[in-house]
């Protein structure tokens, strides 16, 4: 944390939208008596190279680096720990300042693709019955700067730029909506991180009005809906937010999203043996999503200590997939689990599983 400059609160640089950054950086450069081309140098350092500190910004005069260090915060998250899976998946643990919560993100290499899985909350208040993040409790929303900092720090620590970004880490993105929208703007602005919106996926259990707002603000961003059950009573049990936002209302918003954006969605379905993987459940699912341009992604439940479910056999997942596929025109895929040995797989992101906690 830089020193305070005459009582002035340091500004989080990664929190700023494109125009805000240009204005704030221009003022800082002027205050330091430097020419305006320094703004673009600072911009490139910040979004393209990601130094650990202002001191590392070679090419900027030392006096300017010292001034920036006094008035700005560069990284709101402290990098705490990294674990590498035998399949190459890397899990990063961060701390929010000294007393703040802990957050995890995951890098998943897969051939030409490098996917970053990013968190929007520390823990999650939704508390789905099959998700380790929900069991770990909820410490709060992340700021847009903390969301962006995961991306820039993973890139600088791994030296592997992301080809894809998925908001599938800790938390429910649509419950941290303002910071989600702000971070999407910073991620996609060509002056900032410049990541194509089509390469970004937001995964949600579904809040109708926010799905509508998201598809208006970022029509190219992909939507994944965590559906898990078509039966209302079962979905109420598995995904408690269904009590407030029932699936039928969520699916109306998803239909509008598809109609307005011309894009398909992905339905995610965690297979919980003996709970939601019967032939009747498959039929109910296909009936419920009929007519929506989508693919269905089946995810084998990843076990963790407190969870009351078992891990599905691959052959029962294949049988469930086949039951769906008989009545469903879209793609139905089974997601390969990655990073299980370091608790970096879906639903295993929990502060309880981290050796440092
Ligand atoms: N809150 C958002 C995004 C984070 S969860 C959402 O729920 O969509 C990302 C995905 O991991 C979701 O599809 C979620 O259902 C799945 N998931 C959660 N716990 C899991 C577990 N134990 N095993 C497998 N997948 C899980
Ligand atoms: Fe939260 Fe998603 Fe986990 Fe449910 S599955 S508890 S919404 S992170």
Dist CA 237 CA 183 (whole Å) = 31
At 53 the pLDDT is 93
**Contacts of residue 98, Cβ cutoff 8 Å, sequence gap at least 6:** none
Q: Rounded mean pLDDT of 59-86? A: 94
Looking at the CA of residue 124, tell me the nearest atom of ligand 1.
1
Query: What local confidence, expressed as pLDDT, does residue 101 receive?
Result: 86
- Print the SS3 string covering 162-212: CCEEEECCCCCHHHCHHHHHHHHHHHHCCCCCCCCHHHEEEEECCCHHHHH
117 falls within a domain:
yes
- Residue 61: inside a domain: yes
Nearest residue CA, atom 9 of ligand 1? 168
Q: Please check whether residues 244 and 206 belong to one and the same domain.
A: yes
What's the CA gap between 128 and 318, in Å, rounded? 24
Helix 279-289 vs helix 247-261: crossing angle, to nearest 10: 50
Same domain, 254 and 315: yes
Q: Give the CATH number for residue 281.
A: 3.20.20.70
pLDDT exceeding 90 applies to what percent of the chain?
85
Question: Does the Cβ of 130 fall within 6 Å of ligand 1?
Answer: yes
Distance separating alpha carbons of residues 191 and 203, to the nearest angstrom: 26
Query: Percent of the chain scored above 70 by pLDDT?
Result: 94
* pLDDT above 90 (res 342): no
List the beta bridge partners of residue 266. 224, 295
Among 50, 73, 96, identify where a domain stops: 73
pLDDT tens digits along 236-278:
999 999 999 999 999 999 999 999 999 999 999 999 999 999 9
Q: Is the pLDDT of residue 291 over 60?
A: yes
60 and 159 assigned to the same domain: no
pLDDT range class, residue 130, cuts 50, 70, 90: very high
User: Domain for residue 172, yes or no?
Assistant: yes
Check if the beta carbon of residue 251 is closer than 8 Å to that of residue 289. yes
Q: Tokens 């965590």, residue?
A: 226
- State whether 273 and 341 are in the same domain: yes
The answer on 341 and 195 residing in a single domain is yes
Q: Would the CB of 124 count as within 6 Å of ligand 2? A: yes
Looking at the domain assignment, is residue 1 inside a domain? Answer: no
Is residue 5 a part of any domain in this protein? no
pLDDT over 50 (residue 215): yes
Averaged pLDDT for residues 123-146: 95
Residue 324 within any structural domain of the chain: yes
CATH number, domain containing residue 42: 1.10.150.530
What gap in Å lies between CA 350 and CA 137, rounded to an integer? 9
Burial (0-12, 13-18, 19+ Cβ within 10 Å), 185: middle
Q: Judge whether 150 and 143 are in contact, CB under 8 Å.
A: no
What's the confidence (pLDDT) of residue 100? Answer: 78
Asked if 45 and 175 sit in the same domain, the reply is no
> Which of the ligands is closest to the CA of residue 203?
1
Mean pLDDT along residues 53-64: 95
152's CB contacts (< 8 A; 6+ apart) are 14, 47, 50, 75, 193
From 177, 238, 347, 348, the mutation candidate for ligand 1 (largest count of ligand atoms within 8 A of CB) is 347
Task: Answer whether residue 189 shows pLDDT above 80.
Answer: yes
For residues 30 and 119, membership in a common domain is answered with no
Domain boundary among 73, 93, 124: 73
Asked if 124 is an active-site residue, the reply is no
- Is residue 230 within 8 A of residue 285, CB to CB? The reply is yes
Largest CA distance in the chain: 71
Could you tell me if the CB of 347 is within 6 A of ligand 1? yes
Choosing from 12, 34, 104, 268, the catalytic residue is 104
Q: Is 205 in the pocket of ligand 2 (CB under 6 A)?
A: yes
Number of residues written out for the chain: 357
Same domain (yes/no): 60, 195: no
Mean pLDDT, rounded, for 66-94: 93
CA 202 to centroid of chain Cα atoms:
7
Bridge partner residues of 197 (DSSP): none
Phi, then psi, of 40 in degrees rounded to 5: -70, -35
Q: Are residues 132 and 171 in the same domain?
A: yes
Which ligand has an atom closest to residue 225 CA? 1
Which of the listed residues 55, 73, 91 is the one where a domain comes to its end? 73
The reply to whether ligand 1 has any atom less than 6 angstroms from the CB of 184 is no
Model pLDDT, residue 355:
46
User: Which residue(s) pair with 201 in the sheet?
Assistant: 166, 222
On the question of pLDDT at 144 being above 60, the answer is: yes
**275, part of any domain:** yes
What's the whole-number average pLDDT of the chain? Answer: 93
Q: Region 212-223: what's the mean pLDDT?
A: 98
Of the candidates 179, 171, 178, which has an alpha carbon nearest to the alpha carbon of residue 122? 171
The predicted pLDDT at position 82 comes to 87
Q: What is the mean pLDDT of residues 131-138?
A: 92
My answer on whether 65 and 202 are in the same domain is: no
Number of domains making up the chain: 2
| pLDDT of the residue at 295 | 97
Same domain (yes/no): 196, 294: yes
The residue range of the domain holding 38 is: 11-73
Structure tokens at 346: 């879906």
- Residue 3 reports pLDDT greater than 60: no
272 with 314, same domain? yes
pLDDT value of position 338? 74
């Amino acid at each position: 944390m830089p020193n305070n400059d005459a009582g002035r609160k340091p500004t989080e640089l990664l929190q700023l939208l494109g125009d805000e950054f240009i204005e704030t950086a221009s003022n800082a450069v002027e205050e330091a008596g430097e020419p305006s081309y320094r703004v673009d140098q600072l911009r490139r350092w910040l979004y393209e190279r990601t130094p650990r500190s202002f001191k590392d910004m070679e090419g900027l005069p030392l006096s300017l680096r010292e001034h920036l260090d006094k008035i700005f915060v560069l990284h709101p998250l402290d990098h705490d720990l990294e674990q590498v899976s035998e399949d190459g998946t890397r899990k990063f643990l961060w701390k929010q300042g000294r007393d703040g919560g802990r957050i995890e993100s995951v890098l998943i290499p897969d051939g030409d693709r490098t996917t970053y899985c990013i968190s929007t909350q520390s823990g999650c208040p939704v508390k789905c019955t099959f998700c380790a993040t929900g069991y770990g409790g909820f410490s709060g929303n992340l700021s847009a700067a903390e969301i962006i900092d995961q991306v820039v720090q993973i890139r600088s620590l791994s030296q592997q730029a992301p080809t894809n970004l998925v908001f599938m880490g800790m938390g429910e993105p649509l419950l941290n909506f303002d910071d989600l929208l702000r971070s999407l703007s910073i991620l996609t602005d060509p002056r900032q991180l410049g990541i194509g919106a089509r390469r970004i996926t937001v995964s949600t259990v579904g809040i109708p009005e926010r799905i509508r707002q998201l598809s208006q603000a970022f029509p190219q961003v992909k939507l994944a809906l965590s559906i898990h059950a078509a039966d209302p009573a079962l979905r109420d049990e598995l995904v408690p937010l269904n009590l407030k936002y029932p699936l039928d209302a969520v699916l109306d918003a998803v239909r509008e999203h598809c109609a307005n954006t011309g894009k398909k969605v992905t339905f995610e379905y965690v297979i919980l043996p003996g709970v939601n993987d019967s032939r009747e459940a498959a039929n109910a699912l296909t009936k419920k999503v009929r007519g929506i341009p989508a693919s269905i992604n089946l995810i084998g439940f990843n076990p963790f200590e407190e969870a009351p479910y078992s891990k599905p056999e691959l052959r029962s997942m294949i049988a469930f997939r086949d039951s769906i596929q008989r009545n469903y025109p879209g793609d139905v895929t089974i997601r390969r689990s990655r990073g299980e040995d370091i608790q970096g797989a879906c639903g295993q992101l929990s502060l309880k599983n981290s050796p440092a906690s």
